[in-house]
Amino acid sequence: MGVDFHITRAEFWAENEDAPITAEEWLECIKADPELDLISENGPYYARWFGASAYEEPWLNWMNGDIWTKWPDTALYLKMLDIAKYFGATVQDDDGTVYALPTEYKFDPNVKFLLPIKKKPWWQFWLCLK
């Protein structure tokens, strides 16, 4: 399970038949942007971003009229906002929530979530998950 972010011209990213970003537009964007490079062994529209990301190989991919990635860190999210502006598009999550400002999303994949160290009976732990 993950969080997918989409660059789209549609009101809702999954319903973009009337306003797709074409594959040709995406390839032109990659050629024009020195921070992006086409990595065709991962698919014909898969690009690697060479910006300051917490990920070793941050990526963006075009599919069905949208550009998307999974679990973008904050730096990749900011890059997505720039790309969205280039296309006259928005950044949306899977639910269609639009992210327009740099401060609306922050994620650092290096921060680990810790479970409580204090031992509890298993049934008390189960109640915490609800």
Domain residue ranges of the chain, discontinuous segments joined by +:
4-103
Q: What are phi and psi of 81, to 5 degrees?
A: -60, -40
> With pLDDT > 90 as the criterion, what percentage of the chain qualifies?
68
pLDDT in tens, 26-79: 999 999 999 999 998 888 999 999 999 888 899 999 999 999 999 999 999 999
Q: Name the strand (E) or helix (H) holding 84.
A: helix 74-87
**Cα angle 85, 87, 89; round to 5:** 70
pLDDT in tens, 70-116: 999 999 999 999 999 999 999 999 999 999 999 888 877 777 554 44
**Cα angle 41, 46, 52; round to 5:** 110
The confidence score (pLDDT) of residue 23 equals: 96
